[in-house]
Amino acid sequence: MELVYILPAISVLCMLAGVYFVLFHKREEARTFAANLLSEEKMDYKRRAQQQVILRKRRNENQTGFLAKIDMDMERANLFIKPNEFLMLMGGCATMAFLLVLAMGKGLLLAIPAGILGIFLPKLYIKFSIWRRMGKAEKELAQVLDTFASCFKSGYSFSRAVQQVAEQYDDPWGTELAKVSAEMNFGSSVEESLVGLTKRIPQSDVAMFVTAVLIQRETGGNLGELLETLSKTVRERFKLMNKVKALSAQGKLSAFIIFMIPFGLASIYSAMFPEVMMNFFHHPIGWGLMTLAGGCQLVGGFVLKNIVTLEV
């Protein structure tokens, strides 16, 4: 009986330690790393260590495979986590979820699905972090372009302008532009550094910015005015996106309500007629009807999503 209390306690402690490790320690380590890239008074061994990290990241940008994809996701989420550490975290979450449910006396029938769900929890957190960080980058891009334009009008070179803008902004633009500045200082060309930026922030507006800079460097011209025009375009596009979201909000809410009606009715009938619903859930005909209804729900949800989704 003591095992029933020990296993959940160990699982909870390990989970809390993992959450601290991911949410605080590794994120703080990434923030400190980005800040040191812009510091002019760091020791030589720090410079060499950071140079090795950046060169490794640059090599991994051209690689394919599961581990390279995880490494790029860590870059986009701004987490200083190696792929093998992330795999260990996924395995730990799966093991803890399995042991926790098993120690609660629910049996293998629920413990195995809980373990499978635990595998995907870190991945879901990373995807959410990327979504939140990319959204912030999209909102701040127009302001970043205006700052670039001001720097170029003041006579700054491109490398100095990148460093100046990186010092004025927090994550994500401060972090990503600091990496671009460090890559150029470590011998990477402007094109390679900017292409790496588009991989870490895969947005169409960022791709337009990089393309404009690269074309201007080949053909010449006033880069400050070009970025001001691009900033206005980005602002107008962002306003249009917000307008489209507002106009389609009612349709999305209606689609969500329609999609959730069967689940709501099933919950009400289960509360009112529990015996009937239990027989329905355990009978083969009930399983067949639920499978058919689930398939129709997926098809209907896909159709409704395409109806209410408008691309700008």
Length of the chain: 312
CA nearest to 229, candidates 145, 104, 118, 125? 145
Q: Which of 83, 48, 43 is nearest to 182 (CA)?
A: 48
Q: Does residue 191 have a pLDDT over 60? A: yes
Predicted confidence at residue 10, as pLDDT, reads: 60
What is the Cα–Cα distance from 209 to 234, expressed in whole angstroms?
A: 10
pLDDT at 17 over 50: yes
Q: Give 262 or 308, the one with higher predicted confidence.
A: 262
Q: Tell me what pLDDT residue 1 has.
A: 46
Give the mean pLDDT of 119-142: 88
Q: What is the pLDDT of residue 155?
A: 83
Structure confidence at residue 55 (pLDDT): 56
Residue 45: predicted pLDDT: 45
pLDDT at residue 11 tops 80: no
For residue 5, what pLDDT band results from cuts at 50, 70 and 90?
low
The listed range with the strongest mean pLDDT (97-101, 185-189, 210-214, 278-282) is 210-214
Residue 190 contacts residue 218 (beta carbons within 8 Å) = no
Token readout for 61 is: 């940008």
Query: How would residue 41 be classed by pLDDT, with cut points 50, 70 and 90?
Result: very low
Q: What angle do CA 70, 74, 78 make, to 5 degrees?
A: 170
The C-alpha atoms of residue 36 and residue 153 are separated, in whole angstroms, by: 28
End-to-end CA separation in angstroms for the chain: 60
Give me the pLDDT at residue 27, please: 60
Q: Provide the pLDDT confidence category of residue 258 given band limits of 50, 70 and 90.
A: confident
pLDDT at position 123 over 50: yes
Query: In the predicted model, is pLDDT for residue 205 greater than 50?
Result: yes
**Structure tokens of 301?**
């949800």
Helices (H), 154-222: 158-168, 173-185, 190-200, 204-219
- Where exactly are the structural domains of the chain? 2-136, 139-231, 239-308
pLDDT at 265: 82
> Does residue 270 or residue 309 have the better pLDDT?
270
8 A C-beta contact, residue 38 and residue 181 = yes
Contact 132, 196 (CB under 8 A): no
Which amino acid type is present at position 278? Answer: M
Residue 312 to residue 309: CA distance in whole angstroms: 10
Cis omega before residue 172 (within 30°)? yes
Is the separation of the CB atoms in 286 and 226 below 8 Å? no
The stretch 111-136 carries a mean pLDDT of 86
CATH code, 139-231: 1.20.81
Kindly state the tokens that stand for 288: 């067949």
> How far is residue 132's CA from residue 112's CA, in Å, rounded to a whole number?
31
